Structure 1
Amino acid sequence: VRRWRHLDLGCARLLLEYAPRRVMCREHGVTVAMVPWARRKSAYTRDFEQQVAWLSVHAPRSAVSALMRIDWKSVGPVCKRVADDLRDEQGAGLFDHLRSIGVDETSYRKGHKYMTVVVDHDRGRVVWMHEGHGEKVFDLFFETLTEAQRASIRVVTGDGARWIDECAFRWCPQAERILDGFHIVSWATDALDKVRTAAWREARKKGVAKKGAKDPVKGARWALLKNEGDLTAGQKAQLECIANTNETLWEAYKLKER
C-alpha cells in the first residue's frame, strides 16, 4: 500500500492510500502501474503539487514549506515535476509565433550565480531559461529555434548589454533592438539624482546652503524621483521651489518625466 499527500482538509492532513498493481510493460518489463492522481515517483498528488508550484511563484521556499507543511528541500523537486509536465504539454510549439521577446539575467544564491531568462512579451510568459549569462548562453537560445522561428522574431528587448545586441543582430538581423522601459526609467532616475547631488554641492560651495540647514534641493530627493501622480502636497511645493530657484535641476526633472 502506498500513500500520497493530498491537499489539507481544513487543518487536518489528508492522505490517499492505494495498492497499485504491478503490470508487464513491453518497454520496461514488470513495473508498477501509473495512477491518475499523482506523477511518477512522487509522494504527492497532482493537485498538491500544483498548489506548491503556484505558491512558489509568489512566495519564498521557506514560506511555502511552512504553509504546505512539507520539507523545504521537497519544494524544488515538486516545481521541477510541474514544469516538466508543462513543457511536455506545450512541446515544440512553445517557440512558434515568437514576435516580441525580452532577455535579461537574474542572480540567485545571494548573487553568486546567474541565470538568463527569455520571455515572450505577446503571451506574457517565460519561454526559455539557462544557467549563466552572456553571449554564449544567449546563443544557445537561438540554436534551439528553427530558422522559421528565428525569422518570425521582430523585436528583441533588453538592457544596454553589448552581448544582447551582437546575438540579436547575428541571429535575427530583421529584428528591431529596443531598450526596455524598466532600465530606461532606472537610468533616468539615477542621472537625475546625480544632477540633484551636484546642485546641492554647488549650493554648499557658494554658501547658499549652510551645513546642517534644511535645504529644498537636498530634501527634494524623493519628490524628484516619484511619479507626478504620487506626489504629496508638500512634495509639490518642493518642486515649485526648485522650478523657481534651480533651472538646471528643474530641466533634468522634466527630462526624466518625459
Structure 2
Amino acid sequence: MSDGKACLPFWEGFHMVDLQVGADTVHITLEPDPASRLSCGSCERGDLPVHEFCRRRIRDLPMLGKAVLLQVTLRRVACPDCGARMEAVPWLERHARLTRRLADAASTLCARMATAHVAALFGLHWSTVRTLDQRRLTRTIEALPEAMPRRLAMDEFALYKGHRYASVVLDADTRRVLWIGEGRSRAAIRPFFQALGEAGCARIEAVAMDMNTAFDLEVRQHCPNARVIYDLFHVIAKYGREVISRVRVDAANRLHHDKPARRVVKRSHWLLLRNPASLKDHERVRLDDVLQANQSLLAVYVMKEQLKALWSAPTARAWRAAWKQWLAHAQESGIPALMHFAKCLRPYWRGIVSRVRWPMHTGQLEGINNKIKVIKRMAYGYRDSAYFFLKIKAAFPGNP
C-alpha cells in the first residue's frame, strides 16, 4: 500500500493513490488530477464546473498475470449544452467498464482466436468480448471503399444442421463478400438487390450461380442487363447424382445373381464421378473394367464428358451445334435417367451458352465457403448469425 500519489502514463488525468496486490488481482485506486482539463464527455466542451463525483469499477489489462481492477473517481460536469454529463476520459469509453486498452486487445485477438478463448484469457464474459469484436468488425467493414460491382457470383453454404442455409454474394472481380443472408429463397436474397439500388442493379453485367431457380428469377427481375451463367461444377454434380448414380444402382440391381460383378459396380461410385485426369493408373484400369462390362454406364459416362465440353465451346455457333448433338444423343440413348435430365436441363440453355461470352464460375465462392467452415469451426458454431456474417465479410474485404 502506498500513502503518496503516483502519476502514471497509463491513466492520463488521474493519480494512483492506492495499490493492493492480491493472489490473483491487483486493486488500484485512482483519483482525478485537479490540474487536468475537465471537459464534457458528449460535446468535449472544456473548462466546465463539477456537478458531482461518482465512483466506478473498471477492468484494465492484466499485469504480471494478475487481473487489474481500477476503483476510479469520476466527475460529472455541468455542461450548458448537454446538461449533467460524465467527464471525457481519454482512456475510457463513455459508460464503459473496460479501459480502451483492454477493449482493443480483446477485440484484436478475436481475429485469431475464438471468442470463448479470448474471454477466458482476459477473464471477461463471452458476450462482452463478442460485443467488442462486433464493434471492431463493424468499423473495419465501414472503412472499406464503396463497392461498385459489375460481375457477381452467388452461392449458398450450410449454416446449421437440418438443411439450414445462408446465401452469399461475391464481387467476382475483387473477391469481396458483398452480402450474406439466411435462407436461399427469393425473399432471402431480395434485400441485397434492394440495398444495391436501381442504378447498382443496372450496372451488373453477369452473375455466376448454380441452377438455383430462386437466384435466377431474382437476378432477372432486378438486373435487366445481367446475363446468368450456370456453373459447370454444380451442373456436373447434379448430373452425377441424378444420372450416373441412378444408372449405377440399376446396373448393380440387375447383377443380383452375380455377386462379384455386382460388388465391382457398387464400388465404382467415386471412379465414375471423379475427373479422369485425377485418377491413378490402377484406378483407370478399374474404371475401364466397369465401363466395358456395362453399356449403360459407358453411355452416361461418355455423355458426362460431352456435357462438360459445352462449357469450353469457342463460339456460340460451335456451342449450339454441340448442344443439339448432346440433346439428340440423350434422347436416343433410351436411358430414362439421362432422358429426364436432358429434358430438365433444356430450359436452362441460355445460362450455359452465356459461358462463351462470360467465362465465369463460382469456384471463388467454393474456396471462400471452405474458409467459412474454418471460421465456424473455430467457435464451434455461433449463437448470433449477424455476428457470424460480420466475421465473414471482414475476412474477405476484397483485393484493392
TM-score using structure 1 length: 0.72
Alpha carbons 2:151, 2:204 under 8 Å: kept = yes
Asked if 2 retains the 8 angstrom alpha-carbon contact of 1:99 and 1:154, the reply is: yes
**Do 1:49 and 1:78's aligned partners in 2 also have CA atoms closer than 8 Å?**
yes
Long gaps (5+) in structure 1:
none
2:255 pairs, out of 200, 203, 213, with 203
Q: How far has the Cα of 1:22 moved from its partner?
A: 6.3
Match of 1:50 among 108, 117, 120: 108
Query: Structure 1 residues 22, 196: CA separation in 2 closer, same or farther (over 3 Å shift)?
Result: farther
**Aligned match for 1:30, one of 85, 108, 112:** 85
Pair 1:89-2:137 in alignment: no
The answer on whether the counterparts of 1:108 and 1:114 sit within 8 Å (CA) in structure 2 is yes
Deviation at 1:66, TM superposition (A): 7.1
- The one-letter amino acid of 2:103's match is T
Asked if 1:226 corresponds to 2:274, the answer is yes
Q: How far apart in 2 are the matches of 1:140 and 1:100?
A: 18
Does 1 or 2 have the higher relative contact order (CA < 8 Å, sep 6+)? 2
Q: Verify the 8 A CA contact 1:20 1:33 in the aligned structure 2.
A: no
1:162 aligns with one of 201, 208, 213: 213
Residues 52, 78 of structure 1: 8 Å contact kept:
no
CA offsets per residue over residues 81-134 of structure 1, 9 Å max, x none?
Answer: 23211232126x1xx321222333444343375533222222222211234442
1:176 Cα deviation from its structure 2 partner: 0.8
Q: Which residue of 2 aligns with 1:193?
A: 245
Q: Is the Cα contact below 8 Å between 1:188 and 1:256 reproduced in 2?
A: yes
Would you say how many aligned residue pairs link Structure 1 and Structure 2?
A: 244
1:239 to 287, 295, 314: 287
Choose from 186, 190, 199 the match for 1:148: 199
| Farther off after superposition, 142-151 or 128-137 | 128-137
Deviations 1:147-203 (A, max 9, x none): 322122112233323222221111101101122344224213313222211221223
CA RMSD of aligned residues (A): 3.9
Q: Deviations over 1:202-226 (max 9, x none)?
A: 233xx4x23x766321121222233
CA contact (8 A) 2:207 2:226 kept: yes
Where does residue 166 of structure 2 map in the other structure? 115
Q: Is the 8 A contact 1:52 1:68 kept in 2?
A: no
1:77 Cα deviation from its structure 2 partner: 3.0
| Higher deviation after alignment, 61-70 or 165-174 | 61-70
Q: 1:69 and 1:228 mapped to 2: Cα distance?
A: 54
Deviations, residues 228-253 of structure 1 (Å, cap 9, x unaligned): 34434432221121232223213323
Q: What is the alpha-carbon distance in structure 2 between the residues aligned to residue 28 and residue 120 of structure 1?
A: 48
- SS of the residue corresponding to residue 146 of structure 1 reads helix
Identical counterparts, % of pairs:
27
Aligned CA distance change for structure 1 residues 62 and 214 (closer, same or farther; 3 Å): farther
Q: How do 1:173-188 and structure 2 match up within 5 A?
A: 173-188=224-239
Which secondary structure does the structure 2 equivalent of 1:90 belong to?
Answer: coil
Change in Cα spacing, 1:71 to 1:139, as seen in structure 2 (3 Å) is same
How many angstroms apart in 1 are the aligned matches of 2:302 and 2:239? 11
Structure-1 residue corresponding to 2:398? none
Q: Residues 39 and 23 of structure 1: is their aligned pair in 2 closer, same or farther, counting only changes over 3 Å?
A: closer
Partner of 1:2: 58
Question: Using a 3 Å threshold, how does the CA distance of structure 1 residues 202 and 136 change in structure 2: closer, same or farther?
Answer: same
Letter in 2 for 1:30: R
Alpha carbons 1:102, 1:121 under 8 Å: kept? yes
- More moved, 37-46 vs 128-137: 37-46
Distance verdict in 2 for CA 1:255–1:142, change over 3 Å: same
Read off the aligned partner of 2:143 and give its amino acid letter. Answer: E
Compute the TM-score of the two structures, normalised by the length of structure 2.
0.49
Instruction: Name whichever of 167-176 and 226-235 sits farther off.
Output: 226-235
Give the distance between the partners of 1:112 and 1:62, measured in 2 at CA.
26
SS at match of 2:263: coil
Structure 1 residue 42: Cα displacement: 7.7
Compared CA separation, residues 198 and 42, structure 1 to 2 (3 A): farther
SS of the residue corresponding to residue 168 of structure 2 reads: strand
Q: Distance in 2 between matches of 1:144 and 1:36?
A: 37
Give the partner amino acid of 2:249: T
Alignment of 1:68-83 (within 5 A): 72-74=126-128, 76-83=130-137
Alpha-carbon contact 1:115-1:132 (below 8 Å) kept? yes
For the structure 1 residues 17 and 151, does the alpha-carbon distance in structure 2 shift closer, same or farther, using more than 3 Å as the test? farther
